[in-house]
Chains A and B, each alone.
Chain A
Amino acid sequence: MQIILPDRSVRTLSRASAPIEEILLELGINPTTVIVIMNGRIVPEDVTATEGDELRIVRFSHGG
């Protein structure tokens, strides 16, 4: 699966499947500070991403 990080860099994860929350925590991202768009649609983080999915992580919590 492909992950587009908040800084727009792209990471490829070679895993068959994983809950989005687990992926975020592995990346050091607190799920309450981002929104995840999977294949173009906002999803809750308890959804499992599988091979071929594209995850875009939108960060919004930087204050102000």
Chain B
Amino acid sequence: MTSAENRCSFCGKPAVARLTGPERRLCAAHFIEDAEARVFAAMKDECMVAPGDRVAVGLSGGKDSTALLLLLHPILPTLGATLVAVTVDEGIAGYREETLKAAEALTAELGVEHVIVTFADLFGKDLDRLLVGREAQGCTVCGVLRRRALAEGVKRVGATKLATGHNLDDEAQSVLMNVLRGDLPRLRQDTSTGQPGHFVPRIKPLAVLSEKEIVTYLLLRGYFRDLPECPYAGTALRSEVRTMLAGLEHRHPGTMLRIIRFRDGVRRSARSVEPVKALSTCRRCGELTSGEVCQVCRLLGQGG
């Protein structure tokens, strides 16, 4: 296709993207409209937000949560809901400073209330110090603690829902990782309902957009920044799965969406067969756990 033939299916302006299902080419303005419409449709279909909700956006300052805040900011008032941003500062030198600054600049620009919770405050030490001697487990440790920190932030701001920036790629990768680990309970675990007294319902409005679509959206709206990468490089399995899925998505477009549909099907059919294993409360901190002491307390070495 020549540059001259590459035209928006709706208005004939130069197209920035070609999307499938249904097949369409979109100019900058129509791409933004299309992406926003898909997110809002998903929010409606899945009843993610109700009137009176106070929605906390987990804002890391990275690309996904930036896009999430930009998208939710104009729409929540029309749904009768309010917005507050919560940032977790893990204390990762050379990485968090810049993303934190980006997060603060964005909430200031949009006029969104913003609360920052730090690992140092919650757990007594920042991540870098918690990880001394076990740096290789960085992402696993951080993931557990960040989830807790975010839940704590949500409590502090009195939010009724937690919105996170997980995109289609993240979600499809997680499904495959759970399959590869043989972890059916984790595959079935649905965090969208929450646990009264422990977790508010968690919503993922961006799960209908691929990482590529999110970056395109940010570039077109002038919010894409080349931020530093986290020094804790992620788990080995996730990076293998990411590469594999990217290859499959390229050769077989729609693969990621089909994986999500498969997961949803598994959840629906499993729900009616067998109840999810009951959770008890941690005898140290009182949060939900499948054992006697929760993962957070075990990681912090208070498990004994």
Expressed in whole angstroms, the Cα–Cα distance for A38 and B169 within the complex equals 25
Which listed residue (A44, A58, A61, A62) contacts B18, Cβ 8 A? Answer: A44
In the complex, which residues of chain B have a beta carbon less than 8 angstroms from the beta carbon of A32?
A: 210, 212, 246, 249-250
B239 interface residue per 8 A CB criterion: yes
Most-contacted residue by chain A among B18, B28, B239 (CB, 10 A)? B18
Chain A, 30-46, contact with B by CB distance < 8 Å: what is the 0/1 string?
11110100100111101
Chain B, 197-237, contact with A by CB distance < 8 Å: what is the 0/1 string?
00000000000001110011001100010000110011000
Number of chain A residues whose Cβ lies closer than 8 Å to a Cβ of chain B = 21
The residues in A between 8 and 64 inclusive whose CB is less than 8 angstroms from any CB of B are 19, 30-33, 35, 38, 41-44, 46-48, 50, 58, 60-64
User: Is B14 a contact partner of A46 (Cβ separation < 8 A)?
Assistant: no
User: Is B215 a contact partner of A43 (Cβ separation < 8 A)?
Assistant: no
User: Is B169 a contact partner of A61 (Cβ separation < 8 A)?
Assistant: yes
User: Is A58 a contact partner of B62 (Cβ separation < 8 A)?
Assistant: no
In the complex, which residues of chain B have a beta carbon less than 8 angstroms from the beta carbon of A64?
A: 62, 229-230, 234
User: Is A44 a contact partner of B6 (Cβ separation < 8 A)?
Assistant: yes
Q: A45: nearest residue on chain B (CB-CB)?
A: B18
In the complex, which residues of chain A have a beta carbon less than 8 angstroms from the beta carbon of B246?
A: 30, 32-33, 61
B15 interface residue per 8 A CB criterion: yes
B166 interface residue per 8 A CB criterion: no
**B219 → chain A closest CB, angstroms:** 6
User: Is B239 a contact partner of A48 (Cβ separation < 8 A)?
Assistant: no
B54 interface residue per 8 A CB criterion: no
Known: A32-B212, A58-B215, A58-B219. A46 touches B249 (CB 8 A): no
User: Is A31 a contact partner of B1 (Cβ separation < 8 A)?
Assistant: no
Known: A38-B3, A48-B1. A31 touches B250 (CB 8 A): yes
The residues in B between 236 and 295 inclusive whose CB is less than 8 angstroms from any CB of A are 238-239, 242, 246-247, 249-250
Expressed in whole angstroms, the Cα–Cα distance for A58 and B220 within the complex equals 13
Chain A residues in contact with chain B, CB under 8 A? 19, 30-33, 35, 38, 41-44, 46-48, 50, 58, 60-64
Nearest 8 Cβ contacts at the A-B interface: A44-B18, A42-B16, A60-B215, A63-B234, A32-B250, A30-B246, A64-B230, A47-B6
Q: Identify 27 residue pairs between A and B in the complex whose beta-carbon atoms are under 8 Å apart, listed by A's number.
A: A30-B247, A31-B250, A32-B246, A32-B249, A32-B250, A33-B212, A35-B212, A35-B216, A35-B219, A38-B3, A41-B14, A44-B1, A44-B6, A44-B15, A44-B17, A44-B18, A44-B25, A47-B1, A48-B2, A58-B224, A60-B211, A60-B215, A61-B242, A62-B229, A63-B229, A64-B230, A64-B234
